[in-house]
Structure 1
Amino acid sequence: MRALSLFVTRRPWLVLALWGLAALLSVPFAARAPAALSANPGSLQDSDGRRVINILRERFEEVDTNTVLLVTRSTPPLDTAQGKAVYDKFVQGLEGVQGVTRVLRQDAQTTLPTRAEDGVLALTVAQIPLEEGATETLARVREYADKVEASQVGASGPGLSIRITGGQAIADDFTAFAESDTKRSEFAALPLTALVLLLVFGALVATGLPLVVGVLSITVAMACLFGLTRVMEVSTFAQSIITLIGLGAGIDYALLMVNRFREELAQDGDSRSAAARTMLTAGRSVAFSGITVAIAMAGLILPPLAFVRSMGLGGVLAVLLTILASLTALPAMLALLGERVNSPRILKFPWAQSSAASEAWTAFARRVTARPFLGVILSTAFLLLLALPALNMKTGYAGAWGLTPGVESRDALSDVRTLGAGGLLSQFEVVLDNGGRYGPEDRDRFRAVVADLRALPGVETVLSPFLTAADLSGNTAGGGTDAIAAVTALTQRSFSTDRQLLRVTVIPDTALRADRIDAFETQIRRTLDASGYRYTLGGAPVGEREFSQAITGALPTVIAGVFVATFLLLMVAFRSLLIPLKSILMNALTVAAAYGVVTLVVQDGFLASYLGIPQDVGVLDSSLPLLLFAVLFGLSMDYEIFLLSRVQEEVLRGHSNDEAVVLAVGRTARIITSAAIIMFIVFCAFIVGRVVANKSIGLGLAVAVLLDATLVRLVLVPAFLKIAGKWNWWLPAWLDRLLPQVRIEH
């Protein structure tokens, strides 16, 4: 650290020139990053869902199994000549859209109701590629629908209004709105953050420096994220994480550094030596705090899931670049500015950041430590009470319910459900192994399985070769010819090219929310188990469920890895066994409380409407517990280190443990509360958006930082430190000799 401090403060112009060049080169790549991110929850290569996709592609020659659902409102109704002519023209144009391989119209091959009784509402299904080219094809379909509607503007004759939904439409809307929500959150948080910084520092220059650090780290991190998208699929959540950490932690670290620099500058007025001393004191705390955050984010790299790993890599990138900017660009600017960091002086408040201890916070700490058991018991009980709803947490892929009303793909789903065709979004694909080439003697056995599946509760229909023209004619406007064509198509899709594998598609009577998939899948498996066939069950619900279980199943591994690494790091830093154990337990309490609040609001709907969260979400996004743990655990350690390092410093100066705790709170409470207000603003900005997962992350982080910076750091931790007394700093002599020497100050 000493060598770095000398280089940065002696060559500040070179350091800033390098950062300026890096930012300039990063801007075009950072701008392209959001469009390259993915909202696809992904699939596991070694899973039933992926195996079925591969079987359908290789043995059934089904490539384009991705469906786009287009809901049309016709004026006049479709059962009139004019209405039918307009609709026919629309379908013909849709069939010509590049990438659309097949169109199932309202009067053709489907056994689902595809037209309302009044003839106004109708459903058209377009098949597009499953993976490569899916987004581009959907964009062309949407462009075509917009052109159709635009051509009718001002016309008094017949026309169509079109709304689009489907798995691909929902995923693409998720990506688009996650990007726009993140940008809006940044723009909303920056001016409010600047206002808080102005109240803290009272000077424009000092206020601007933390914002510069945040913007620098975010810009370069987003460019690096774009580089990652060239070699792997990167989650759209990675952008949110980079913004959260870049703005939140970056401003926190800059706040600490600028405050310390002003203290050091007041001693001798030499800006370069003050900047060097700042790096050797506050800089060490920043580096150490950043490492703990990086450890927590690196925990996301442990699960063998590219979707989750990309978020971990994004978080680690953001942390490392934030540390780098805080320890290079910021001290270089401070060294050049000198006393000008305090100009122009706009506001003057006696409680602004200073080297003097706060009398109010010191008195508050004395009251807390006077009754430490009361503080520990009440604080812990309150946090556990908040955490209780998390015991009933349900996770999964929220799908359309993960978007707020007003988004087309979610709103169109209500029309699809009105038509009774919501199950098209939740189809189960069943592949049966016939044990040999299918022949006439196998017909009765196959028919019996299909009949059993059809009889299950909640099943709308089962697509199989046993549907007849009579079955279809009641749902088709074209009658016999169309129905016969439908039967032929169903027969072709039901047998593999070698006629050894059989296929049926089970369509529920409504779109299945994630919390209802398990029960529906269980009854299908029970029926198939009794059939005597060997089978593989797949489809969108199975793939989503498998992926969600893989993410939540990785949580214990991530938690264990982060706990062990954090324990070792804190043990080295504070020469103690109890301090790291206490820190882990109390941070875990904060995370659990945040889990409980998010579960209560997002899943159970309590006060959800006041936050703009739909009350029918039903589940938390499967990646949310993992994300919240990593981000919360890491950021909570910032405040922990700010406080504990000051306690340790006072103990080393000769104060008793009890007095050191009081003095540390008096000197750090201003920093912690100011930083917490800024973090709270940044996180709350994410609650205002149209993607429920982002809103959930913002809510969880805002609640956690509020609890952590007040109840935990200023009540629970001081009270515990008072109770533990000298045991806070106990470390076996033999272990102390083995550990490297690390000094942390701020």
Structure 2
Amino acid sequence: MFDRIAELAIRRARLVLVVAAVATVLLGAVGMGAFGKLVGGGFDDPSSESSRANDVIEEKFGGQTNLVLLVDAPEGGVDSPEAARGGRALTAELAAEPNVAHVISYWGTESPALRSGDGHQALLLAHVAGENVELEENIQAVLDAHAGERDDGLTVRAGGGGAVGNEMNAQVADDLLLAEGIAIPLTLLLLLVVFGSVVAALLPLAVGVLAILGTFAQLYVLGTVTDVSILATNLTTALGLGLGIDYALLMVSRFRERLAAGASVEAAVRHTVRTAGRTVAFSAATVAAALGALMVFPQYFLRSFGYAGVGVVAIAALTTLFVLPALLRVLGHRINGGRMPWVGRGRGGSRESVWGRMARAVMRRPALTALPVLALLLVAASPLLGITFGTADERVLPENAESRQVSAALQENFEGNDDSALRIVVDAPVDAPALDSYATELAGLDGVVRVETSAAVYADGAAAGPGDPGLGRDDAQRINVVSVLTPKSDEAQELVHDVREVPSPAEAEPLVGGADAALVDSNATVGSWVPLAAALVVLTTFALLFLFTGSVVQPVRALLLNLVSMGAALGVVTWMYQEGNLGSVFGFTAQPMDTSMVVLVFCIAFGLSMDYEVFVTSRIKELHDQGADNETAVAGGLGHTGRIVSAAAVVLAVSFFAFGTSKISFMQMFGLATGLAILVDAVAIRGVLVPAAMRVLGRNAWWAPGPLRRFHDRFGLREGGPEEEPAPVLIGTEERPATVARAKNPSGV
């Protein structure tokens, strides 16, 4: 297969490039429409109890509150005549909006729960209709019309889930532009340093851009048939740019190496596709397998990253295998055009040999060199012992975000937070005595300040006022449980469990929803699917590495060392984002680790670690198959690949570190954790722990049971293609074959 790809690139190079140019234009045109198709949210399991509660409330009661307007009154407070007139007018205006329903206002109900303790603030609660993009547009229209300074002296600020979602999505779009503005120039600069020429540096960037545009087009198509999170664009840009550069770096380096050895352009292209191209294909398979595990989760937030991840890996690999060789064929020796002034003509292998010398030093004293590094990584991972999990809320936004300020005011100034109330729905008829008994028991639970039903409001275990008839129907009942507990705290989550244990007032079981219930359900859902996702990642990775190496020890060694690097990276960000360290530097608020983001970082970091594992192991295996002893194979493999891996890791880490500039804290965490995992893996794991482990394992590193060895001999992957043809060298103006060494199994690096 790789021979045919090489011949296509050589014989039809210009045709391939014309098709690629047309595809780039078309993909760009389609991909730009993705931003109109992608949506926010997606953190909840649609089959969970809290999600089903939301569905029933939407179906039978027209939806629940998703917009909170906090009204600040001038001197005299919310009960002054001027404030009352303005408040009633605002209530009427809001109720007249075509997409707004269930408007509840302090000035309409005079409920003490909707008035702040000092009397200077009041609330309006409403439900804005719509889903995804339509909901965002409808909420923004309401805010444009009614939020801000009013002529009657009232100041209106927006909060609630809808407003938080709108601010979060807008901030993500701004952050993405900033991250790209930082990552692309820095990446180009690093590529110039690595390659030393303008032409060679632009090729990896071209592959990355094509991978990004292709994945955007894929997300556009998927967004028309299913929900896809807008945050998938962040992964697309970071991973597309990074992997495109990784793969192109490998190919261009091998191509230039062959040219420098005297091969003709055609022979260099063939060799590059057979070896580096084979490694790219195998590496892409391992990365895609890790990212594909995200698709098992029911939350479309995580599935979206699986869609984007697998798509961008596949497109980057295909571009590298088909388009890049055609570019190399057309450019030929001009690949070195635009040589940087600091680069000498003879670029020796001294920089490569640094990694080889390091590997030999480690293998001479594996315990002395590896144990301190391993201890340091385990210390870095130790904060994971106290990790707690949560879901995204207004605290991921900057402190000056309006919706976050409104949420803070609700917790500090109002008795009970209606916005974070538990929303219970009973999808069956409930008679008055049963409803009274059920609400009374709920009102007696620890932390509950009131329970709102259609019949009455209950407090301290007894009826305390008239109810809201809108909460009841002949065939269903709604109950709101308002507490003084901090939203998403351990106590608030315990209240969810307590509420769910209260016996049902009807034949149908009550469905408990609300933000705290969604958190409980989300953690339970992710926890239940993590074993399957982890098993898929481990089994597919093990199988691929076995088919590649013929050893059962190498996959185990790779898996264990990858876990160490990921544990260190996640431990550092847990120390930061959960425990609050460096919060003043990055501008975040300490809170439990976002469950979905931790899973996401694990899968991405694992996949990228396997990317570098393949780069290094392929060259080690080549030398091992040629008969080199273990120490020579490891030192030689790292000596040849160390510079490529380190350069690729730095470039890829920059793409993720750029998200550290985000004002959304979980996006900061995602970028920093992934970038850190990449660097730890490339330096500490590949540079120290891999050679140490290989030295300790010795010949056992390549062991496999007899039946598996025979299976590999028959079905295993070969990292090299057919033997190399003699590489032509230029003698005068004539190409003549020169004898070159023929590897038994040429490496994929």
Report if TM-score (shorter chain) is over 0.5.
Answer: yes
Q: Are residues 170 and 93 of structure 1, via their aligned partners in 2, closer, same or farther at CA, if it must alter by over 3 Å?
A: same
Q: Which runs of structure 2 are paired with 1:34-433 in the superposition (5 Å)?
A: 34-41=35-42, 43-57=44-58, 61-76=60-75, 77-109=77-109, 111-116=111-116, 119-129=119-129, 131=131, 133-145=134-146, 149=149, 158-268=152-262, 270-349=264-343, 358-420=352-414, 423-431=417-425
1:606 aligns with 2:585: no
Q: Are residues 45 and 228 of structure 1, via their aligned partners in 2, closer, same or farther at CA, if it must alter by over 3 Å?
A: same
Q: Secondary structure at the match of 2:225?
A: coil
Indicate if the aligned counterparts of 1:259 and 1:354 stay in contact, CA closer than 8 A. no
1:678 aligns with 2:651: yes
**Alpha-carbon distance, 1:42 to partner:** 5.1
Question: Over residues 50-71 of structure 1, what are the superposed CA-to-partner deviations in whole Å (9 max), with x where a residue is unaligned?
Answer: 343344455xx30131331011
Q: Which runs of structure 2 are paired with 1:695-734 in the superposition (5 Å)?
A: 695-734=668-707
Q: Secondary structure at the match of 2:423?
A: strand
In structure 2, what is the equivalent of residue 586 of structure 1? 561
Q: Secondary structure at the match of 2:108?
A: coil
Give the AA of the match of 1:22: A
Distance 2:208 2:104 in 1: 51
Indicate if the aligned counterparts of 1:193 and 1:678 stay in contact, CA closer than 8 A. yes
Indicate if the aligned counterparts of 1:112 and 1:461 stay in contact, CA closer than 8 A. no
Question: Over residues 303-358 of structure 1, what are the superposed CA-to-partner deviations in whole Å (9 max), with x where a residue is unaligned?
Answer: 34444323212110010001011112222111111222112112434799766663
**Alpha-carbon distance, 1:503 to partner:** 3.6
**Alpha-carbon distance, 1:119 to partner:** 4.5
Give the AA of the match of 2:261: Q
Q: Are residues 412 and 164 of structure 1, via their aligned partners in 2, closer, same or farther at CA, if it must alter by over 3 Å?
A: same
In structure 1, what is the equivalent of residue 471 of structure 2? 493
Q: Are residues 465 and 295 of structure 1, via their aligned partners in 2, closer, same or farther at CA, if it must alter by over 3 Å?
A: closer
Distance 2:684 2:490 in 1: 34
Q: Are residues 377 and 311 of structure 1, via their aligned partners in 2, closer, same or farther at CA, if it must alter by over 3 Å?
A: same
Distance 1:167 1:379 in 2: 45
Question: Over residues 476-525 of structure 1, what are the superposed CA-to-partner deviations in whole Å (9 max), with x where a residue is unaligned?
Answer: xxxxxxx9xxx46x13423x314xx5442101225512654421213323
Q: Secondary structure at the match of 2:114?
A: coil
Indicate if the aligned counterparts of 1:103 and 1:124 stay in contact, CA closer than 8 A. yes
Question: Over residues 362-406 of structure 1, what are the superposed CA-to-partner deviations in whole Å (9 max), with x where a residue is unaligned?
Answer: 322221111112334333322222222112222232211222222
Q: Are residues 470 and 581 of structure 1, via their aligned partners in 2, closer, same or farther at CA, if it must alter by over 3 Å?
A: closer
Q: Are residues 268 and 110 of structure 1, via their aligned partners in 2, closer, same or farther at CA, if it must alter by over 3 Å?
A: farther
Q: Are residues 649 and 504 of structure 1, via their aligned partners in 2, closer, same or farther at CA, if it must alter by over 3 Å?
A: same
Question: Over residues 256-309 of structure 1, what are the superposed CA-to-partner deviations in whole Å (9 max), with x where a residue is unaligned?
Answer: 111111111223363333222211111111111111101111111223444432
1:450 aligns with 2:439: yes
Indicate if the aligned counterparts of 1:41 and 1:547 stay in contact, CA closer than 8 A. no
Distance 1:651 1:38 in 2: 50
Distance 2:532 2:458 in 1: 54
Give the AA of the match of 1:268: G
Indicate if the aligned counterparts of 1:356 and 1:667 stay in contact, CA closer than 8 A. no
Q: Are residues 502 and 91 of structure 1, via their aligned partners in 2, closer, same or farther at CA, if it must alter by over 3 Å?
A: closer
Distance 1:505 1:516 in 2: 18
Pick one of 420, 433, 438 that aligns with 2:431: 438
In structure 1, what is the equivalent of residue 33 of structure 2? 32
Indicate if the aligned counterparts of 2:240 and 2:312 stay in contact, CA closer than 8 A. yes
Q: Secondary structure at the match of 1:159?
A: coil
1:629 aligns with 2:563: no
Distance 1:431 1:144 in 2: 32
**Alpha-carbon distance, 1:702 to partner:** 1.6
**Alpha-carbon distance, 1:575 to partner:** 1.5
In structure 2, what is the equivalent of residue 524 of structure 1? 499
Distance 1:713 1:110 in 2: 67
**Alpha-carbon distance, 1:163 to partner:** 1.5
Distance 1:286 1:376 in 2: 29
Distance 1:468 1:214 in 2: 59
**Alpha-carbon distance, 1:19 to partner:** 1.6
More off after superposition, 46-55 vs 377-386: 46-55
Distance 1:465 1:95 in 2: 21
In structure 2, what is the equivalent of residue 478 of structure 1? none
Structure-1-length-normalised TM-score: 0.89
Distance 2:346 2:143 in 1: 54
Structure-2-length-normalised TM-score: 0.89
Q: Are residues 431 and 470 of structure 1, via their aligned partners in 2, closer, same or farther at CA, if it must alter by over 3 Å?
A: closer
Give the AA of the match of 1:81: P
**Alpha-carbon distance, 1:15 to partner:** 1.4
Q: Which runs of structure 2 are paired with 1:465-476 in the superposition (5 Å)?
A: 465=454, 467=456
Give the AA of the match of 1:539: G
Question: Over residues 511-563 of structure 1, what are the superposed CA-to-partner deviations in whole Å (9 max), with x where a residue is unaligned?
Answer: 5126544212133234x149898742312222342133212321111111111
More off after superposition, 505-514 vs 162-171: 505-514
**Alpha-carbon distance, 1:573 to partner:** 0.8
Distance 1:437 1:191 in 2: 64
Question: Over residues 79-101 of structure 1, what are the superposed CA-to-partner deviations in whole Å (9 max), with x where a residue is unaligned?
Answer: 43333333333333222222012
Distance 2:199 2:629 in 1: 39
1:620 aligns with 2:593: yes
Structure 2: tracts of 5 or more residues without a match:
720-746
1:647 aligns with 2:620: yes
Q: Secondary structure at the match of 2:569?
A: helix
Report the number of matched residues. 712
Q: Are residues 530 and 22 of structure 1, via their aligned partners in 2, closer, same or farther at CA, if it must alter by over 3 Å?
A: closer
Distance 1:469 1:431 in 2: 17
Structure 1: tracts of 5 or more residues without a match:
153-157, 476-482
Indicate if the aligned counterparts of 1:202 and 1:352 stay in contact, CA closer than 8 A. no
Distance 2:585 2:439 in 1: 47
Q: Post-superposition, which runs of at least 4 consecutive aligned residues in structure 1 deviate over 6 A?
A: 350-353, 468-471, 530-534
Give the AA of the match of 2:64: T
Indicate if the aligned counterparts of 1:552 and 1:622 stay in contact, CA closer than 8 A. no
**Alpha-carbon distance, 1:450 to partner:** 2.4
Question: Over residues 73-127 of structure 1, what are the superposed CA-to-partner deviations in whole Å (9 max), with x where a residue is unaligned?
Answer: 2334444333333333333322222201232222233745333455543222122
Q: Are residues 545 and 38 of structure 1, via their aligned partners in 2, closer, same or farther at CA, if it must alter by over 3 Å?
A: farther
More off after superposition, 240-249 vs 533-542: 533-542
Q: Secondary structure at the match of 1:101?
A: strand
Give the AA of the match of 1:497: D
In structure 2, what is the equivalent of residue 462 of structure 1? 451
More off after superposition, 386-395 vs 37-46: 37-46
In structure 2, what is the equivalent of residue 480 of structure 1? none
The percentage of counterpart residues that share the same residue type is 31
Distance 1:468 1:193 in 2: 61
Q: Secondary structure at the match of 2:143?
A: helix
Distance 2:46 2:437 in 1: 32
**Alpha-carbon distance, 1:725 to partner:** 1.0
Question: Over residues 561-592 of structure 1, what are the superposed CA-to-partner deviations in whole Å (9 max), with x where a residue is unaligned?
Answer: 11111111111111111111101111111122
Indicate if the aligned counterparts of 1:578 and 1:728 stay in contact, CA closer than 8 A. yes
Indicate if the aligned counterparts of 2:451 and 2:479 stay in contact, CA closer than 8 A. yes
